[in-house]
Structure 1
Amino acid sequence: MKQNFTVRQGALDGVEAFLSVAQHRSFRRAAAELGVTPSAISQAVRVLEARVGAALFIRTTRSVGLTEAGERFLARAKPAFEELVAAGEVARGLGQRPAGLLRLAVPRAVVPILLEPLIASFSQAYPEVEVEIAASEELIDIAAEGFDAGIRMGQFIAADMVALPLTPPFRLIIVGSPAYFAGRKRPKRTDDLRQHACLRWRRSNGALALWSFNDNGKAIEIAVSGPFIANDFPTMLGAAVEGIGLAQVPEPMAAEGLRAGKLVQVLKPYAPVTPGVFLYYPSRRQIMPKLRAFIDHVKSRPAGRKA
């Protein structure tokens, strides 16, 4: 059977008036402090006493004192109310200037090639903001997990997120090491991958990712097989460099290995273009100053420049 629940209303009504009267031992001085009339203070205290179920003050024509119930209420209510006021001041401060903890959920591959220089310059510009990076391949709900924003490749970002590009679009390319190709024919068509060891990527949902290709303008996906499975691009790329097999990775990640001759690209005409890497967050209306500062910092970079 469904139960009915109600939210208790007015739990703090009259507490500030009570504390002011208790401090000044005067309804008149409490009214002056709070900027209301003495009758308003008296009414607020009466309502509080009715809700508590006990008299909190002893009133005479000459003085105001606390009852035993009032003394006990004061002992517990004063520090609690002061904590509430302090909490409000802290929250107000975070809402008015870039400060506090900025939590970002990012893939491991992004940290060295994109975030490290960006975070360094951001931290210098905004010393009151602490940056926490949770590096994981898992596609999480950033709002539910308490993150301010996330960074992901564009095709993995939900449609209801606000997305800001961090990189231009780039290709997903197939690479292997010269040692791997020693004694092997390089693939010329996607069908040739059946004769090759292909390194696979297991998504956060447990599924093995298909390899994506652009076949004369038509997007196709192919299930590949091979001796090695990883759950992030850096691990797959390292396995490719060691000659274990072929890997499909973002082109910027493989750029250094290609320049150094540690990797060779194959199937170039079939490489698909992805939207790139984006900073994403839930809503423009809910942006705290710390995140707004980070967004502005990202936007301030020269166009086309890597972080």
Structure 2
Amino acid sequence: MRRPSLNDLAAFAAVANHRSFRRAADVMGVSRSALSHAIIGLEGKLGVRLFNRTTRSLSLTQAGATLLARLDPVLQDLDRALDTLSEERGTPSGTLRINANKSGARILLANVVPRFLDLYPDVELDLVSEGRLVDIVEQGFDAGVRLLEAVPQDMVAVKFGGDVRFLAVAAPSYLEGIVPPTTPDDLQAYRCIRQRLPSGKRYRWEFAKRGAEIAVDVPGNLTLDDNDLLVQAAADGRGIAYVPEPFAEPLLKTGQLVTILDDWCPPMPGLALYFPRSRHVASPLRAFIDLLKRWDGAR
């Protein structure tokens, strides 16, 4: 058996952990075909098949699972050793990949990212903003940003930005001549702008007051999947929208939108940056977390 190179083993671990040649190739910055050839070469050197491949799925063989179980701790130890060298040099380096929802990305870009890039020019920050909740380990991210209540239980969460409110908002022109709703159930008699979640389901508006909670499947003939679009449609008089406060705040200040059902919209736990509990926290992520905590503590 010919001894494989470290690059070959790292390629195997990437494909095995992501269960996808495409995702592993994206994370490693190589072409899918190059990665496929590397795995074929590794299997040839080892004399065993590491993956079961079909046109629709990819899974580890028993030999592949055994190799991954032994290899992952070794590669993590190597990451720690290289990270130690980076610390001794005095500044973090490498790539930091963060997956965030749109609200989180906005806050980070406005308050943390500029300072981080100024302090750590040797770090390449890859900030991906999308609505759907992804498996950050499977997708090759170092950390994620979501509402605290959506963070998986096996992750370490660093809360920031304070509590958030979802607000029911509408344009004065839409409410002109009609009596605004006073309870969530009243929304059944109004035109609402519905929201499509990344999962494909329509969002049921969730309200709370003095311990009572209610979720309403509101009526409406317009459904959108983006908070900015919801706010704009509400400002255009298309009906009532239910959005995070930061998205509506600019138009609330100008009077283009007003709030309704305020007493049914209490604060809720806000955003958190999260990362795997069992994984080594590399110096770029540690530096980002430290900066995030300092900014949040100074607010």
Of 119, 130, 133 in structure 1, the residue corresponding to residue 127 of structure 2 is 133
Q: % of aligned pairs identical?
A: 34
Corresponding residue for residue 211 of structure 1: 205
Query: Corresponding residue for 1:230?
Result: 224
Query: What secondary structure sits across from 1:259 in the alignment?
Result: helix
Contact between 1:175 and 1:265, CA under 8 Å: does it hold in 2?
yes
SS in 2 for 1:303: helix
1:100 to partner: Cα distance: 1.2
**Alpha carbons of structure 1 residues 94 and 238: separation in structure 2 relative to 1, 3 Å:** farther
The answer for the alignment partner of 1:47 in structure 2 is: none
Q: Give the aligned length.
A: 224
Asked if 1:243 is matched to 2:244, the reply is no
Q: Does the C-alpha gap of structure 1 residues 195 and 138 become closer, same or farther in structure 2, counting only changes over 3 Å? A: same
Matches within 5 A, 1:165-184: 165-184=159-178
Max Rg structure? 1
Distance 1:183 1:124 in 2: 53
Q: Please, which of 277, 291, 295 is the counterpart of residue 301 of structure 1? A: 295
Q: Is the 8 A contact 2:184 2:214 kept in 1?
A: no
CA–CA distance in structure 2, aligned partners of residues 287 and 245 of structure 1: 46
Q: Aligned equivalents of 1:114 and 1:91: distance in 2?
A: 27
Give me the whole-angstrom Cα distance separating, in 2, the residues matched to 1:302 and 1:292. 15
Aligned residue in 1 for 2:180? 186
What letter corresponds to residue 177 of structure 2 in structure 1? G
Q: Secondary structure of 2:287's match?
A: helix
Query: Which residue number corresponds to residue 11 of structure 1?
Result: 3
Q: Where does the alignment leave 5 or more consecutive residues of structure 1 unmatched? A: 1-7, 14-87
**Structure 2: gaps (5+ residues):** 6-76
Match of 1:260 in 2: 254
Change over 3 Å in CA distance of 1:12–1:249 after alignment to 2: closer
Contact residue 111 and residue 295 of structure 2 kept, 8 A: no
Q: 1:115 aligns with which of 71, 92, 109?
A: 109
Kept in 1, the 8 Å contact 2:80–2:282? The answer is no
AA aligned to 1:228 is L
Secondary structure (helix, strand or coil) at the match of 1:253 reads helix
**Structure 1's 89 and 170: CA in aligned 2 closer, same or farther, altered over 3 A?**
closer
Deviates more, 1:109-118 or 1:287-296: 109-118
Partner letter of residue 115 of structure 2? S
**Distance between the aligned counterparts of 2:255 and 2:97, measured in 1?**
37
* AA aligned opposite 2:95: L
Question: Shift of the alpha carbon at 1:246?
Answer: 1.0
Q: TM-score, normalised by structure 1?
A: 0.67
Whether 1:272 aligns to 2:266 is yes
**2:57 corresponding residue in structure 1:** none
Compared CA separation, residues 291 and 202, structure 1 to 2 (3 A): same
Structure 2 Cα separation of the partners of residues 271 and 89 of structure 1: 49
Cα distance in 2 between the residues matched to 1:289 and 1:141: 22
2:16 paired residue number: none
Indicate if the aligned counterparts of 1:109 and 1:232 stay in contact, CA closer than 8 A. Answer: no
CA contact (8 A) 1:148 1:281 kept: yes
Query: Distance in 2 between the 1:100 and 1:135 partners?
Result: 20
Question: CA–CA distance in 2 between the matches of 1:283 and 1:143?
Answer: 11
Question: Separation in 1 of the partners of 2:184 and 2:101?
Answer: 28
- TM-aligned CA deviation for residue 122 of structure 1: 0.6
